[in-house]
Chain A
Amino acid sequence: DSGVTQTPKHLITATGQRVTLRCSPRSGDLSVYWYQQSLDQGLQFLIHYYNGEERAKGNILERFSAQQFPDLHSELNLSSLELGDSALYFCASSPRTSGETQYFGPGTRLLVL
């Protein structure tokens, strides 16, 4: 157990809908990273938050957004869902920002029908 929690574990929804994925980092970790794992794209970085502030964006669609709250949990919001958004979404946390090991949560498996 990495100490990172993600809810829900599974999510099935329809095209056009909006979902929210939640992540709680390890105790004391200030950084949260979101990654998407799909069959065609592999594991890709989406976005990084540090202590409530957005620090970097990767290949994140405009339909996707995220935030990190004062208690340091983070949410990834996916809207206007398309079939191609079906994937495993991971969050990872680390103590600060610089060159530290990222510990991954169990992931949320999203299926868009």
Chain B
Amino acid sequence: AQTVTQSQPEMSVQEAETVTLSCTYDTSESNYYLFWYKQPPSRQMILVIRQEAYKQQNATENRFSVNFQKAAKSFSLKISDSQLGDTAMYFCAFMKLHSGGSNYKLTFGKGTLLTVNP
């Protein structure tokens, strides 16, 4: 079974600064996707970014980028120019891809609570 580990339960950053959230995962699969979701105080789960394991290029979405190290099974999220609205719980998630299978569930880490201070 796959496991996802987020070793930082809580982090804080000053507005406009950069912060990196860590995620490691354990799998014997070679074909998978990785995601970061954020959950603000509203509790809505919002997709931040997605990375396909077969792609060497790290994914980027505006101020959000990842550092994907496949051999090390590491998938960190970098938030640049942090904003107050980035305050949220951030979840790293793993999706195994099957050839002909049918379970594309997400396996989540326990989350990192990020607080952006003014």
A25 at the interface (CB under 8 A from B): no
> How many angstroms from the CA of A104 to the CA of B31 in the assembled complex?
23
Q: Which residue of B lies closest to A102 (CB)?
A: B106
Q: Are B108 and A43 in contact (CB under 8 A)?
A: yes
> Digit string of B37-55 for contact with A (CB within 8 Å is 1, else 0)?
1000011111100101000
Q: Are A101 and B47 in contact (CB under 8 A)?
A: yes
Which of A55, A88, A90 makes the CB contact (< 8 A) with B102? A55
Known A42-B110, A42-B111, A98-B97; contact A107-B103, beta-carbon cutoff 8 A: no
Contacts of A2 in B (CB 8 A): 44, 46
Contacts of A56 in B (CB 8 A): 102-105
B74 at the interface (CB under 8 A from A): no
Contacts of A98 in B (CB 8 A): 97-98, 104
A70 at the interface (CB under 8 A from B): no
Interface of A is mostly: strand
Contacts of B95 in A (CB 8 A): 99
> How many angstroms from the CA of A23 to the CA of B18 in the assembled complex?
37
Tell me, rounded to whole Å, the shortest Cβ–Cβ distance linking B108 to chain A.
4
Q: Are A48 and B44 in contact (CB under 8 A)?
A: no
Q: Are B45 and A48 in contact (CB under 8 A)?
A: no
> How many angstroms from the CA of A106 to the CA of B107 in the assembled complex?
19
A residues contacting B by CB (< 8 A) are 2, 31, 33, 35, 42-45, 48, 50, 55-56, 58, 88, 90, 92, 94, 97-104, 106-107, 109
B residues contacting A by CB (< 8 A) are 33, 35, 37, 42-47, 50, 52, 91, 95, 97-98, 102-111
- 5 pairs from A and B in contact (CB 8 Å cutoff): A42-B108, A43-B108, A56-B105, A98-B104, A99-B97
